[in-house]
Amino acid sequence: MRGPLNLWRLIRTGATFERSGAMPVVLDAVDAPRSIRVAARIIGRPFAFLGYEGDPNMPPVTRALTALGPAYIKFGQILSTRPDVVGEELAAQLRVLQDKLPPFSKDEARDAIEADLDVSLDGIFASFSEPVAAASIAQVHKATLAETGETVAVKVLRPGVERAFRRDIDAFYFSARVIELLLPSTRRLKPVDVIAHFEGVVMGELDLRLEAASASEFAANTEQDDGFRVPDVKWFLSGRRVMTLGWAEGASMGDNAALDAAGIDRIALSERVIQLFLSHALRDGFFHGDMHQGNLKVAADGTIIAYDFGIMGHIDAYTRRVYAEILYGFIRRDYKRVAEVHFEAGYVPADRDVDEFARALRAVGEPIFGMDATRISMARLLAYLFEVTERFGMETRTELILLQRTMVVVEGVARSLNPKMNIWHAAQPVVEEYIKNSIGPRAVLSDLQETAKVLARFGPRLPDLVESLLIQQSRSQPAPHSSGKLAKLGWAVAGCAGGLAASLLAIVLIA
């Protein structure tokens, strides 16, 4: 039965965009060709009456996305950080989706907290405010602890949000499978895998115990970062549907007027946002995956305060090195090396021409370096990047989806602070430092040390492994093949010697 329901859901999505008046706004924002506009109107108009009405007091696109539910709101939050893609006016309208959505009642929040934590709210909090921020998944209340008088932020999931997300994700899966079936050329983009990745991210965001753990880990990783802070987790007041953090006082990263009034240097702030993100991604391999303005505040002293840790990204050491080499190549305008790294990592099929790919990358990079940032059309640039990936048969790398998406969001946040900022200039010191520590001679020594540690752990087990291998071989093969046993014994002894050597090397390197 899900197929017809999902088809109905998709029809209603288009109908909602048509009924709310959002369809022409979106088509204008992406500069859609006339053929697409005509087709959208012909198909959409007859079904407009089936769409959700939404709040008529909201602008059209915000109205449509809010009416459609939390998964669509997430998409709108991403677009709100890219005025260079959708235009300043639409981006400003969509920013409401970050933390200014209609809240649910304070009484519902009280009931949810008491049910999840099995406590009496009046016994824990001396005060508990009306909602101070409301987003797609949860809302936040300001409260005062009765015992200590400390001010805290209490985050509570929206009632029924899990079911709403599941409904939307089912529809997304259906549309992804239909796209793969009707448009085989899109299979390299792995639409179903992309939705699976999105599902995993969202499902993690719906358990606030996981978010509390992420906040704690992120705080530990970044405690030495100048000009950056993560509020502390109040574990005794956190559960699956409720999370409590220390209160973060500051101006919203999206309120330029407030930042200017506080005397904050927005140019320096824009560069620090980029550099902090890259530092967390490259140095730690663990980064905030939802760094839009609604999740960032700026304290009076200019410190960036991050919160809302439901979406966190993780990338392994090898992927971090590949990513850093690609960024470093772009910074140095060494497009041949960038192309080679793509081939070495398997991001481009081996049967394609590396020099041709390098020339295509040059067409992407040179406009960024040779033009004022305010004159760069990111929408056009992204469209060309898509053409490049299609021409060279590049498949979607699901392990990089969140990293790439967050990079787009963070750059959008930085540009909202300083429209002329250049991401490559801001990234250069962080990437160069990572390259020096992770790819140069120092990195080789570090890799040898880690390898030695792993090998050393097997040293004590090697005699037993050799004996077990010999017994197994003697039972499975007849005597005439004893020469084969001797050969394997030789390799086993050599392995034992190698393990001992590795142990010695590890001791020397650690010392």
Q: 268: Cβ–Cβ under 8 A, 6 or more apart, which residues? A: 302
Q: How confident is the model at residue 459 (pLDDT cuts 50, 70, 90)?
A: low
* Residue 23 clears pLDDT 60, i.e. is over it: yes
Structure tokens at 325: 């080499």
String of DSSP letters for 282-301: IIISEEES--SGGGEEE-TT
Q: How confident is the model at residue 30 (pLDDT cuts 50, 70, 90)?
A: low
For residue 82, which of 404, 379, 418 has the smallest C-alpha distance?
379
Give catalytic status of residue 290 as yes or no: yes
* Residue 123 clears pLDDT 80, i.e. is over it: yes
Task: For residues 96 and 294, give the distance between their C-alpha atoms in angstroms, rounded to a whole number.
Answer: 9
**Backbone angles phi and psi of 387, in degrees to 5:** -60, -40
Q: 306: Cβ–Cβ under 8 A, 6 or more apart, which residues? A: 218, 228, 229, 230, 288, 291, 295, 296
Q: What is the pLDDT of residues 235-276, one digit of tens each?
A: 999 999 999 999 989 999 989 999 999 999 999 999 999 999
Task: For residues 343 and 39, give the distance between their C-alpha atoms in angstroms, rounded to a whole number.
Answer: 39
Judge contact between 485 and 477, C-beta under 8 A: yes
Amino acid 31 reads: D
Q: Which of 122, 290, 301, 308 is catalytic?
A: 290
* DSSP-derived pairing of the beta strands 286-288 and 251-252: unpaired
Q: What is the pLDDT of residues 346-362, one digit of tens each?
A: 888 889 999 999 998 88
Q: How confident is the model at residue 488 (pLDDT cuts 50, 70, 90)?
A: very low
